[in-house]
Amino acid sequence: MLESSTMEMGKLYISLFIIFSMVSLALFFSEINHANDFKQYVNYQIERNGGLTGEALTKVDAYNQEHYGGKFNIQSAQKSQQLSFGKEIDYTIKTKHVFFFLPLLSKDISVKGSAISQIR
């Protein structure tokens, strides 16, 4: 009798761990999807403003705060520069994902992107 109840508790804990792991993995992939959506917005702003200019960064930061709570950070060697038509701007979007039931685990997410200036 004792063995069966012990096994039931073991199965329950393993099942909960697997369920929490699957939910955490789904949230992780959702975070990657948000990073890709944000990257698309950054591309549009770079194309419209001729680079990561002050105006483009202001719009991107406002969008980041409004839609994502400021969780994304843009890094680029070409910040605050307006480039001529056809020049390519490279940047990286970085964020950190913390797994909800294992706070010790965290994963840095970085999405590389590039866009071409459309300003003449």
Chain centroid offset of residue 94 CA? 6
pLDDT of residue 21: 83
**Per-residue pLDDT tens for 79-111?**
777 777 878 888 899 988 877 777 677 778 888
Sign of CA dihedral 58, 63, 66, 71: negative
pLDDT at 1 exceeding the cut of 60: no
What is the count of structural domains for the chain?
A: 1
pLDDT of residue 76: 84
Query: Which among 74, 86, 78, 90 has a CA at the least distance from the CA of 117?
Result: 86
**Per-residue pLDDT tens for 15-49?**
998 998 888 888 888 888 889 899 999 998 888 88
The domain in which residue 59 lies consists of 2-116
pLDDT of residue 15: 93
Q: Identify the three-state secondary structure at position 39.
A: helix
